[in-house]
Structure 1
Amino acid sequence: MSSFIQPLAQESTPSIIADKLRKAIGHGEFKPGAQLVEADLARKLHVSRGPLREGMQRLTQEGLLVSIRNRGLFVVDMTPADIRDMYVAREAIERAAALQILRDGDFETVGGKLLKISERMLEADGNPAAVGELDIEFHETLVRLAGSPRLSRMHQTYITETRMCIHALEETYAATDARALEHNRLAEAIQTGDVERTDSLLIEHMDDAVQRLVNR
């Protein structure tokens, strides 16, 4: 597995550092509850502690890191309540995006693009990590193609938490990955312009993920 914690190729900025740490957390390089040691990170990233602290502070403000008095900074360990709340927000954003596409967008083209992603998911069946990345790509594409910058900005704030959840979900799926089939049905519903079925499948998809995470 490639590491996101590598020396920066250019002069460091807090935003670049925050992005690298965000990706490392999202891809499981730093597990929920793991402590981020400032001296170690400064050495690995080849940066001074000032910009590093600023970058880490950004992730604290985003809720990805939590500061524990006299102990340090830790990756947030999402509780069942956190998971439910995150999926409530995601569901609202993605249902709004889907409705925007079905009412005002080229739903046939969008559905076709989503079908291609779901087909790649089917081809990757048996490789939970690959399916997980395609899962993220599917939902990012859905929101992006709604053409709403505000929905996209809101959705992006949950992508890292979503990655954390998807990696946690990998072991809950059987050899035949249910996610590929779920996404395939959703893409077909969008492509045919079926508003009611699309909305129902999105709700069902989010509910299934929450149940798997909370009860794993």
Structure 2
Amino acid sequence: MGRLGELQPVPRRSTVEIVSAELRSAIMYGSLAPGAQLGETELAARLGISRGPLREAMQRLVQEGLLVSEPHRGLFVITLDQDDVEDVYLTRLAIERAACRLVMARNRGEAVLRLTEALDALVAAARERDRVAMSDADQAFHQVLVSSSGSPRLERMAQTLLVETRMCLNALQDTYPEPSELVEEHRRLVDAISDGEEERLLRLIEEHMTESIERLRPS
């Protein structure tokens, strides 16, 4: 990282990367609904691109597990049942526990600064009681947590899981915790990192994931 204010090279993104990001976002926010079939002609027209990069982008999402290919039928957005929901959160727990250990072993101070900024965004969304903004801020917080570990592989694995998490929440918005409760859960995570208490941090991240599973369990 250069000095503050120093110009850095701007990363270039290929058309395939941009289209992949657009499709992920559409799946995450539900405009491509679970079980929806993806038509190449329609999508290419909507995105203003040729079919080549679209096909490549869709294959990336197949590899990530967000699309499924059905023989003689085409590509479909995945659907998530209760077992999938639990698996998503348990896998996130494994990734975020590993990330938390690395955060505590590396630049804990930088992580606290980044997470505090992410927490502020969550607080602002909670103040407005905006569920979509809260979900965005919640997801961003956990992305920062994993990113702060310094492990690009953990970060890549977490990305798909966070999209699947958002799909769970879109389907079950009524189970989302109260704004003040959500903020307090995340504030405790930041405090544990700030205080250098690894065991408390690991316990809190486990509670955070297991309680999410319980909230999303059908009554």
Q: Do these two structures clear the TM 0.5 threshold for a shared fold by scoring above it?
A: yes
Partner of 1:106: 107
Q: In 1, are the aligned partners of 2:29 and 2:166 still within 8 Å (CA)?
A: yes
Question: What TM-score do the two structures reach when normalised by structure 2?
Answer: 0.83
Name 1:9's counterpart in structure 2. Answer: none
Is the contact between residue 40 and residue 51 of structure 2 (CA under 8 Å) also seen in structure 1? yes
Deviates more, 1:28-37 or 1:66-75: 66-75
Matches within 5 A, 1:32-43: 32-43=34-45
What RMSD in Å do the two structures reach over aligned CA positions? 2.2
Partner of 1:30: 32
Equivalences for residues 24-103 of structure 1 within 5 A: 24-102=26-104
Distance 1:195 1:58 in 2: 36
Work out whether residues 118 and 144 of structure 2, in 8 Å CA contact, stay in contact via their aligned partners in 1. no
Q: C-alpha distance in 2, partners of 1:69/1:150?
A: 31
Q: Which residue does the alignment assign to 2:164?
A: 161
Equivalent residue number for residue 7 of structure 2: none
Inter-partner Cα distance in structure 2 for 1:15 and 1:113: 26
What is the CA–CA distance in structure 1 between the aligned matches of 2:83 and 2:177, rounded to whole Å?
25
- Specify the SS of the correspondent of 1:186: helix
Cα deviation for residue 35 of structure 1 reads 1.9
Moved more, 188-197 or 151-160: 151-160
Aligned length: 205
Seen in structure 2, the aligned counterparts of structure 1 residues 90 and 111 have a Cα distance that, compared at 3 Å, is same
Cα distance, 1:173–1:85 mapped onto 2, change above 3 Å:
closer
Contact 1:119 1:184 in 2 (8 A): no
Counterpart of 1:24, as a letter, is A
How far did 1:169 drift? 4.2
Instruction: Pick from 149, 152, 177 the counterpart of residue 149 of structure 1.
Output: 152
User: Is residue 2:167 matched to residue 1:194?
Assistant: no
Q: Does 1:128 align with 2:131?
A: yes
User: 3-state SS of the aligned residue for 1:25?
Assistant: helix
- Are 1:121 and 1:180, in contact at CA under 8 Å, matched by a contact in 2? yes
Query: Could you report, residue by residue, the CA deviation over 1:48-95 in whole angstroms, capped at 9, with x for unpaired residues?
Result: 223322221221122111123343321100122222222222111111
Percent sequence identity over aligned pairs: 45
Is it true that 1:180 corresponds to 2:172 in the alignment? no
Unaligned stretches of 5+ in structure 1? 1-11
Shift of 1:212: 2.1
Q: Against the structure 1 CA distance between its residues 85 and 13, is the aligned structure 2 distance closer, same or farther, given a 3 Å change threshold?
A: same
Q: Which amino acid aligns with 1:191?
A: S
Could you say if the C-alpha distance between residues 66 and 152 of structure 1 is closer, same or farther in structure 2, counting changes exceeding 3 Å?
A: same
Structure 1 residues 181, 15: CA separation in 2 closer, same or farther (over 3 Å shift)?
A: same
Residue-by-residue CA offset, 1:145-194 (whole Å, 9 max, x unaligned): 11122222222232322222233343213554532221111111111111
CA contact (8 A) 2:66 2:160 kept: no
Mapped partners of 1:121, 1:51: distance in 2: 35
Q: Deviations 1:124-160 (Å, cap 9, x if unpaired)? A: 2111111111111111111111112222222223232
* Residues in 2 aligned to 1:56 and 1:137: alpha-carbon distance in whole angstroms: 24
Preserved contact between residue 124 and residue 130 of structure 1 (Cα < 8 Å)? yes
- The answer to whether the Cα contact below 8 Å between 2:169 and 2:176 also exists between their aligned partners in 1 is no
- Opposite residue 148 of structure 2, the aligned amino acid is L
Contact 2:125/2:137, CA 8 A, preserved across alignment: no
Structure 1 runs of 4+ off > 6 angstroms? Answer: none
> Aligned to 2:18, which of 4, 16, 19?
16
Deviation for aligned residue 1:111: 2.5
